[in-house]
Structure formats: structure tokens, C-alpha cells
Amino acid sequence: EAFRKSGGHCATEQLRSVTAIMDCGPFAGCFGEAKEGSNSQQVTIETPDRDPCLEKSVESVVVDNSLEPQLFGGWNDAAKADPSDTVKKGGILKRALSNLSMGSTGSKKSVKSSASGSSRGSSKNNFIAKRWSMILDSSVPNLLNNRSIMLKDDERVITFDETNKLGCVNPTSMNDMKDGRPNRLRTTKFTPLTWLPLSLINQFKRVANIYFLFIACLVVWPWSPKNWKSKIFPFVAVLLWTALKDLFEDMRRKRDDDAENSQRCWRLKRGEADGEDLEGFEEITWAEVLCGDMLLIPEDAAFAADLILIHPAGGTEAFISTVMLDGETSLKVRQSPSLCEVMAGKCAKDQAFEWQQVQSQPKEGDLFPSLPLRQQMMRFINGLKRPGVEFKFSAPTAVLSDVRGTLQPCGNEEAELVCPFSEDNFLPRGCVLRNTPFILAVAIYVGEDTKTRMNASTSIMKFSNMQVNLNNCVRGLLVCLFSVCLFATIIAFAAQGSLAARNEELIKDARNPIIRFFMFCVTFYHVVPMSLYVIYEMLKLVLAFQVNADKQMYDPVRDEMAKARTAEVMEEMGQVNFLFSDKTGTLTANEMVFARCHVGAQDMGEFRKTSEGEPGPGVVKTREMLLSGKSEDPLFKSLLNLFTCLAVCHSVQALEKESEDGKKRLTFNGMSPDEVALVQIADDVGMSFISRVRKTAGNTSDIIVRGPGTSQRNFTVLHELAFSSDRKRMSVIVKHKGSIWCITKGADSVMEGLLTEPFTEACAADLSTFSRQGLRTLIVGMRTIEQAEFGAWSAEYTSARNLIDDTKEDRMAEVGAQLEKDLKFIGVTAVEDRLQDGVPEAISTIKEAGIRLWVLTGDKTETAVDIAKSCRLFSDDTTMAYAVLAEDAKDAEDKLLKAHSMLDGKKDTGLVLDGQTLLHALANQECRKIIYELGVVSRSCICSRLSPMQKLELVKLVRQQNKMAITLAIGDGANDVPMIQGAHLGIAIRGKEGTQAVQASDIAISYFRFLVPLLLCHGRRSYRRVALFLSFYLYKNVALLMCDIWWMFQDKFR
């Protein structure tokens, strides 16, 4: 360890200097500088900050070249350290390598030195290594992976160096598509040449149109009993009307395409940008963006392609909104690869004043980009190009989180210097830059290769039961028509004498039975009129308009009405048998409010505001205790620990905004409403999260917490282990006053096994009480981590994070769990997700209408049951049957049969299932039948701990077991999309979880209570009106046909 206090840098004037970056053991982020001497190498280790994992301070280590010429490859007993500290047996470097089981043989090494008389690569590679050694003169934690990283066989490469003025793309075919404009968007179905043919092909997929074409071909013959004009002109008009409708819809798509393709962005000039051109940016349209382009994006602008961030304003982090892609309304944090951060740091040192100025003021008035910004960005780009870099990335996939690639020096064939990039550096097309003045990014996927386009899919086509019945009626009528025509043909030729003679006199070709059959077909064709389907579709459009205009379903908060996104299934609303509903955000408001907590072996009381809007007694009591400063009081210590953990363990961002009274107040924005509620309550009791600032280099960030009182504390977040549905917990590794802590919060079912001691009786009782009240609980725990343990763990976690194959997520979860153990219990938090207004009344009305209601949720069983009781899904008189916690298929079947016996024959019944039981039951056909029978026997059902696919499986189960049953699914989030698309009728609630559910739905409403007018008013009326229309229309045409048949007998079948 050298120059820790002085901040010295490695010498770079030697021609043979090679910089090695280590990401192993306690030396993660250190730099080694090898200087060639006569027979030895002097290695200097440099780190920017005092690392608590290192106890010794060594300025240099001298190694005899004759024993081991490879830098960091293997250290020998002759190594000597600073006189104040003799390092034995290879010194601290060897110990660092040993921590990763690398041994002294150096099976993994960062960079090979070019010792005298040895050839270790081409002269070009030596030149590149020298260039990068000059640049990397400051520490970059976890910059390079010290192993070869293999991408897929179809990897793609973008090269930036002085030879290529701009990114050289391989394969070049990526930029040859669509006549050299691969980023041009085209969602239209037709071109001017293919419009009419393709529209006609689609129309003749309908059986009725084939029948009308058959009739049109018959009427042009001379023997036709009908005038061809009366049949062909209406048929052509119907076809043309539908074709024009298709053209109109396609023109709207083209208009949207043109609007997107014509959006503007700033690109580094092609073929002109070099070291002397300091204004080398040009404004182009999105359609002109190519793979390998460098784009300069201002705040609140959308991304023209899938990009890799190489520099955000300020050099730290950028915030993006991905609501257009995944439906999530919270902002995401993106960072630049560490190698780019090094270059940004160098630019900041070389021209500190100019660099700092353009970072905060990228505009000149309203003009973007300013001239100083363009000049500084050109210097940054030229700084990357001079030593040369390569972006290597795999072929595109539709998975949003699947972003794999590397950033490495050019000509680095052995992949010894590799900087991986991943989802943390990825900017998807269509997403928007927020709260960041500007960014510089490289386009890696364009056009149809972008995540947006690969995830763009047309909504699933749904057909109502009425449509199916109509098609069956048409087929039946056609069979009857052909039967009548065949009967008339046989009778006409079976008659002898004068009847046949008169027919022959009237019709020249009367003796041909086939022609005679066709003549009858033309005569009776109107049994299936051409106008049937046209008027049928127009009627449903009118019904959809009535839904959109209904003021009963007006939302004054969003200023939005109900919206029928498709008219195909309007009549289904009046026939619903099973209703599947999400809980969070659908029955509840998805507005999390901190309600209670258990800390210091007691319940602190009510934290929710009183009816007068005053702080709850729990808030007042906690604030007073924290302000008292009674450090000897155990309750004070417990409260301080709990609310400090809540203010530190999160991924929330704090913003200071001016309120209506003119005062500046902190507002919090996060991916999870639960997290925001926890940070907000910490602020309410006086433990305020003030800001989060990520360090320029590396993945650490500083969190400032104010309180108790006016005192401020600084916590350095070394790692964040994010929450996932599998882990059901999140953790942060923080450093404070020289100590390292692991703070974890998660579900009680997971956290209990991670604590040093089981829950106390008081804690278990409060947990049960909170669950019965419908509150969502979290357990908070923490532990201290030894510095040596953290050093070894950090290296292993960094290695897992740098993986770019399919094992990355599993490996990160596995390594992350190594620290989440032996936690000390801190406390329990309980958050309320309140019911929406009118939900109990709406559920009661729906049940009275005979609709069976199933609530499908991911919450635990106790919370789900309590919510069901509070919203009147279950009453005090409801006979409850549980089938939960089944261990295998046999156990699941036994529990389901037992529940069936309890509910059979009873009136007011309720069923409770969980995901574990359904996991075994849905794989067994007998159990599936029992589940459906239970759904028929019970009036209501709660299914807890379900995944999105299990929700879909339950919808499919009902549809498979009863082909005539109509299912309705309602939800508000992306996890409800499979269920919404799988049901006959999908309804979305406009909530706080984005618009993905709305985009997949048939009808969008704002509140659950709007289901009552939607189903009982519009649904019933739509069904009755459509049914009456079809019955009358078919009856009318059959009645007219009967008149023709009667006349046929009277006219002797002529």
C-alpha cells in the first residue's frame, strides 16, 4: 500500500511501463506499476482511500526478474518490503492472491509485463498497453476482470480508435439493413402496392366472405335469375369499406412511425470528427442513427436506440424513466462503465474549471448542446479513441435484464483487460432521461434489435362467445341453404312431362343439374346477408362508445373516463361467471402508510395520522424518545438502531421541493411504495435521509442521515443486495466510523432463519396481531462484518457481478446470502395498504349477482384473509375451509378433499389456498378437477403467495374445466398481465404500477368499484342488445327465405 495519505500516482514515463489492475482480495481497486530495471522490477501499489482491510503500509516490493518475469504472476521468497515491514513468503500480494485460491503460481493474472528480451505480444499491443498505463493513473475499484470472458458465438464488436474516426462495426450488416437506415421504425402492415391484396386476403379468411364471393361469381352467368349489379356492387362496397378501414388504421400507424422516426438527436459527426474538430456533433433524426454512433442526450429526451452509457453529467450517475417499456413509474439509476469513469476523471483533472462548468450548464439559453459542452465531449471521446477501445456484446434478446458485453482496449486478444457492462449501464430505446442534465452514450442495438421492438407484440385476439355462436349459426344456415337447393334441384328434374317441358322453355340450360343447383343458390342466397357482419361490428362500436362516455365511471383525480380498448368482447361483460382479482393496487389503493412497529420488546403504538390530520401517538412518542438523547435507556438504543436502519437500508432517492406554504421539504421517490413509506416515517420521527451521492469511481455511494436533532451522519454504501421475489429481502453493506455493517430487511418467513435467535413471544404475538389487521410486515436485522471477511466476500461478489453468462443472477444471490446470516434482531415494521373507496360495497353487489370472486395475491395467507374480511369477501358467518402448506401432490389432494367435504351443502362458504399447495395440485389432473369443484361450491376464494404464472394457471383451469364459463380478470400491475390476457375479458385498473396492465387489457377503469356499473349496467345491456339484434336479423332472413321456398312450390320449381 503506497501513497495512501499523499495521494501519489504511479510513474508512467518508462516505455515498458504496464499498469495492472487487480480486483481480487483486499487489493480490489489497487494499481500496480512495473518499472523495468536491469534485473529486477519495482512494483508500486496505489489505492485512493484508506482500506480497512489492509493493516500494513508498504511503498514498494522489489522482485528479482531472473526468478519470475511475470508481473503478479508469482512472488518469491526474495521479495523485500519497506524496511519498516518485512513481508515474508511473497508478501502481501501473495497473501491477496491466496485469498482467492490463486496460489503463488499465478493461475489468474491481470497483465503480463514485457521483460527484457521476451516477446509478449505485438508492438501494437505494447503501444496500447502503454497508452492505457498513462491514462489509468487513478484507482478504479472493480474495473477489470482478471479472466477471459466469453460471449456468444454471434458476438458483435464496435471499435473506437484513431484509425477509425467513428465506431467501426463488425459485422457491418448491422448497418446495411433497411437501405442503410436500420433504426427506421415501421409498424405498418401494408405498402401502397400490398395494401389492397393483403387486405382482401385477410377479409377472405372469413367464411361468409368466401360465400359472398361464390355468389358473386354465379350471378355474372347468363342463366342467373338475379341481376349481377344488385349482388356484385354491394359485395364490392363491403370489401372496399373494410379495405379503406384497414388503410385508415394503417395510415394512423404510419403517422405514428413518422413522428417517432423524425424525432431529433445529437450525434458525433461521421467522417469529420477528429482531434482538431472540437464541435463535431450534428443533429439528425432517429431514423439516421446507426449502430456504433455516439449520441449526446439532453434531460427529458428519449433514447433513439438501445445505448450503453459512457458518461453522465457530473460523472456519477443518470436517472431514467422506463415506464414506456416495463410499466414501472419509478426512476432507475444507470452508471457508466468504470473504464469510462477513469477517462472522465482525467478530463476533469486536465481542465477542471471548463469541465465542471459544462457538467452543470450544458445549454446556452434554450440551445443544446452548448459550444463548451461539445468541445469537452470531443476531448473526452478523443481521449477514449487514442488508446483505442472495443465494445463487445452479444446478439439481442427480448429479456430486458439480459444485457451482456465487455469494454476493453483494442487488440486485447487474450482478454486480460476486460471491463464488463450490464443492465446497470444500459439505456433502452424509448425510455427518457430524467433529473440528469445530459449523457453521452453509444448505440449498440438499433431498429428491430432493440428491447422495445423485440417486446412489442400485438394484443391477443379475443372472440366473444356470441361471435362463436354467430359463426355456428352462419354455418348452419349455409348447410340448410345448400340442402334446400339440392332438394329443389332433385324435385325439378324428378318431375316428368309438362313440368320439365315448361322449365326447358323458360331456361335454356335447365337440363344441366349443376347449373340448376347454382340457380337455386343465387335465388336463396340472402339467408346470410352481406350486411350482417358490418352492422354487427357497428353495433359493438356504439356499445363501446357508451362505456367511454359513462359519467358514472369518471375519475376526477386523473380526469379520465373508462376506456374500452376493444369492442370485440363487449357482450361478455353481461355473462361473467368467475371474477379473478388482484389485491394490491386493485382492491387496495397501493398507498403505503407506516402503521405500527415492534421494537425493544414492545409495540410502539399507532403511527398513522389521526382523523384531524395530526401525527399519530407512536410518532410523537418515538420522536420525543430520540430527541431525549438518553443513551443509557435500552428503548432509546433500540429506536435509534431501527430508524437508522430504515433511513439507510433502501434504494430511495431524496429530492428537496418547495411546498405550497413556501417551505422546502424532502420528498422521496423509489421503486417500491413500501420503501418510500419506511423512509418517510423515519423522516417523520427525526431520522431524515438527506441525500445519496455516488462516488465518481466505483459502485459505492455516500448516504447522509440527519438526526436525532441537527446532527448528521455519513454512511458509505459499499454494496446493495437488491430485493427479489425469490430472496424476499434486501440488504445494504455500509461502512460507518471504520466499522462495516450488513443491514437486512425482509419477510418474516425468510428472516426468521437468518437471525441469531428465534422470535420472542412478544414479537411473535405482535406479528400475528399485525397480520390479522391486514398490515404488511418486515423484519429488520443487522450484524457487524470483520474487515478481512468483507474483503474476501467483496472480491467474490465482484467476480459474480462481472459474469456475463446465464449464471450471473444465481451466483450473485448465492454470494450475497453468505453475509445475510447471524443477524441481530432490530425490530418489526408494519405498513398498511388501505382499501379503495367503495370496495366492500362493490364486492357485496358482485356476489349477490351470482359471480364467484377469487382474489389472487402474493401476500401471506393471514394478511390476505384479513383483507378479505375487511372488504366483505368473507363475513363472520362464512364457513371457511383451508388447503395450505401442502408438502406434495398427495398431501395437496387430501387437503382439497377435506376442504370440499367441509363446504359441500353449505350456503355462505369461503376457500383459502396458497401457492405451495397449488404448486403440487396444478400438476395433478385429479386435483385440478377438485379445485374447480371447490370454486363452484364456494362463493369466494383467497389464493395467497401466488406467482404471476400461477394466477394464469388458475384462469386456464376454469376455462378448461368449463368451456361455457365466462372468466374476467382484473389487475393493475405488470405481474397481472398474464392473467388479464388469459381470461375472456381483461380489465385493468389505472394504478401506480405503470401502464403495462392497461396496454394488455380490453377495458381500463380507475377504481374497482366501477366494476358494478360496468358489469351490471353496460354488460347486461350489451348482451341483451347484441342477442336481440342477432336473433331478429337471422329470424328476418329466415322468414324471407321461407316465402321464397313457398313460392318455389307454387311456381313448380322453375
Lookup: cell for 837:
373507496
Q: Cα–Cα distance between 808 and 814 in angstroms, integer?
A: 10
Q: Which residue has the higher pLDDT, 644 or 631?
A: 644
Residue 757, SS3 per DSSP: coil
Asked whether the beta carbons of 62 and 42 are under 8 A apart, the reply is yes
In this predicted model, what pLDDT tens digit does every residue of 302-361 receive, in sequence order?
898 999 888 887 666 788 887 666 555 567 788 888 777 777 766 666 666 666 666 656
Q: Cα–Cα distance between 85 and 93 in angstroms, integer?
A: 14
Strand 967-971 to 985-989 pairing? parallel
Lookup: cell for 832:
398498511
Mean pLDDT in the chain?
A: 75
Lookup: cell for 642:
431501527
Beta strands in 565-614 (DSSP E): 578-582, 588-599, 602-603
Lookup: cell for 864:
390476505
Asked whether the beta carbons of 295 and 265 are under 8 A apart, the reply is yes
Read off φ and ψ for residue 814, nearest 5 degrees.
Answer: -65, -45
Q: Cα–Cα distance between 705 and 564 in angstroms, integer?
A: 48
How much is the average pLDDT of 692-719? 81
Longest alpha-carbon distance in the chain: 134
Spatial CB neighbours of 1039, under 8 Å, sequence gap ≥ 6:
none
Residue 711, SS3 per DSSP: coil
End-to-end CA distance of the chain: 111
What is the enclosing helix (H) or strand (E) of 841? Answer: helix 839-848
Q: Cα–Cα distance between 19 and 603 in angstroms, integer?
A: 57
- The reported pLDDT for the residue numbered 357 is 62
How much is the average pLDDT of 539-561? 89
Strand 824-835 to 852-856 pairing? unpaired
CA Rg value for the chain: 36
Nearest residue to 890 via CA among 923, 915, 913: 923
Q: Which amino acid is residue 643, in one-letter code? A: F
Q: Which amino acid is residue 644, in one-letter code? A: T
Give the CA-trace dihedral at 796, 801, 804, 810, to 10 degrees. 80
Asked whether the beta carbons of 666 and 682 are under 8 A apart, the reply is no
Instruction: Read off the pLDDT band of 382 (50, 70, 90).
Output: confident
Q: Cα–Cα distance between 295 and 167 in angstroms, integer?
A: 12
Is residue 41's pLDDT more than 50?
Answer: no
- The reported pLDDT for the residue numbered 782 is 93
Count each helix (H run) and each strand (E run) in the chain, helices first. 32, 38
Q: Which residues pair with 655 in a beta bridge?
A: 667
Q: Cα–Cα distance between 72 and 23 in angstroms, integer?
A: 13
In this predicted model, what pLDDT tens digit does every residue of 599-624 receive, in sequence order?
988 888 899 888 787 888 999 999 88
Give the CA-trace dihedral at 83, 88, 90, 92, to 10 degrees. -70
- The reported pLDDT for the residue numbered 456 is 59
Read off φ and ψ for residue 822, nearest 5 degrees.
Answer: 55, 45
- Map 227-294 to HEC letters: CCHHHHHHHHHHHHHHHHHHHHHHHHHHHHHHHHHCCEEEEECCCCCCCCCCCCEEEEEHHHCCCCCE
CA 610 to chain centre: 37
Q: Cα–Cα distance between 593 and 609 in angstroms, integer?
A: 9
- Which contacts of 747-752 are long-range, i.e. CB under 8 A and separated by 24 or more positions? 747/777, 747/778, 747/779, 747/860, 748/777, 748/778, 748/779, 748/828, 749/860, 751/779, 751/781, 751/823, 752/779
**C-beta atoms surrounding 766 within 10 Å:** 22
Q: Which residues pair with 296 in a beta bridge?
A: 266, 440
How much is the average pLDDT of 538-556? 89
Residue 1034, SS3 per DSSP: helix
DSSP state of 269: P
Asked whether the beta carbons of 535 and 240 are under 8 A apart, the reply is no
In terms of average pLDDT, the best of 96-110, 340-354, 355-369, 394-408 is 394-408
- The reported pLDDT for the residue numbered 393 is 83
Spatial CB neighbours of 993, under 8 Å, sequence gap ≥ 6:
327, 328, 329, 585, 590, 972, 973, 974
Lookup: cell for 822:
447471524
In terms of average pLDDT, the best of 108-117, 649-658, 680-689 is 680-689
Asked whether the beta carbons of 223 and 519 are under 8 A apart, the reply is yes
Asked whether the beta carbons of 1030 and 470 are under 8 A apart, the reply is yes
- The reported pLDDT for the residue numbered 435 is 78
How much is the average pLDDT of 1020-1030? 91
Asked whether the beta carbons of 156 and 395 are under 8 A apart, the reply is yes
Spatial CB neighbours of 224, under 8 Å, sequence gap ≥ 6:
218, 519, 522
- The reported pLDDT for the residue numbered 740 is 92
679: left (phi over 0), alpha (psi -120 to 50) or beta: alpha
Q: Cα–Cα distance between 952 and 918 in angstroms, integer?
A: 12
Percent of the chain whose pLDDT exceeds 90: 13
Residue that has been written with the C-alpha cell 473506437 in this structure: 160
Beta strands in 695-786 (DSSP E): 701-706, 712-721, 729-736, 739-746, 775-785
Asked whether the beta carbons of 883 and 913 are under 8 A apart, the reply is yes
- The reported pLDDT for the residue numbered 679 is 92
Residue 415, SS3 per DSSP: coil
Residue 5, SS3 per DSSP: coil
Lookup: cell for 329:
413509474
- The reported pLDDT for the residue numbered 784 is 93
In this predicted model, what pLDDT tens digit does every residue of 248-287 receive, in sequence order?
877 877 887 888 888 888 888 765 444 444 457 888 899 8
Is residue 352 exposed (0-12), middle (13-18) or buried (19+ Cβ within 10 Å)? exposed
In this predicted model, what pLDDT tens digit does every residue of 621-636 receive, in sequence order?
998 888 887 778 888 9
Instruction: Read off the pLDDT band of 502 (50, 70, 90).
Output: low
Asked whether the beta carbons of 246 and 201 are under 8 A apart, the reply is no
- Map 114-159 to HEC letters: CCCCCCCCCHHHHHHHHHHHHHCCCCCCCCCECCCCCCCCCCEEEE
Q: Which residues of 817-846 are buried (b: 16+ CB within 10 A; e: fewer)?
A: eebbeebebbbbbbbbbbbbeebbebbebb
Cis peptide before 615 (omega within 30 of 0): no
Read off φ and ψ for residue 371, nearest 5 degrees.
Answer: -60, -45
CA 638 to chain centre: 37
- The reported pLDDT for the residue numbered 661 is 65
Q: Cα–Cα distance between 72 and 54 in angstroms, integer?
A: 18
In this predicted model, what pLDDT tens digit does every residue of 139-179 receive, in sequence order?
343 344 333 344 445 678 887 776 655 567 777 777 777 77
Instruction: Read off the pLDDT band of 744 (50, 70, 90).
Output: very high
Nearest residue to 937 via CA among 970, 967, 901: 901
Spatial CB neighbours of 554, under 8 Å, sequence gap ≥ 6:
560, 561
- The reported pLDDT for the residue numbered 781 is 94
Asked whether the beta carbons of 648 and 826 are under 8 A apart, the reply is no
What is the enclosing helix (H) or strand (E) of 65? Answer: none
Distances (CA, A) of 662 to 598, 657, 659, 758: 36, 9, 5, 49
DSSP state of 708: S
Is residue 131's pLDDT more than 60?
Answer: no
Q: Which residue has the higher pLDDT, 80 or 568?
A: 568
Q: Which residue has the higher pLDDT, 925 or 150?
A: 925
Is residue 13 exposed (0-12), middle (13-18) or buried (19+ Cβ within 10 Å)? exposed
Nearest residue to 504 via CA among 215, 220, 223, 227: 223
Asked whether the beta carbons of 648 and 733 are under 8 A apart, the reply is no
Q: Cα–Cα distance between 948 and 640 in angstroms, integer?
A: 38
DSSP state of 906: -
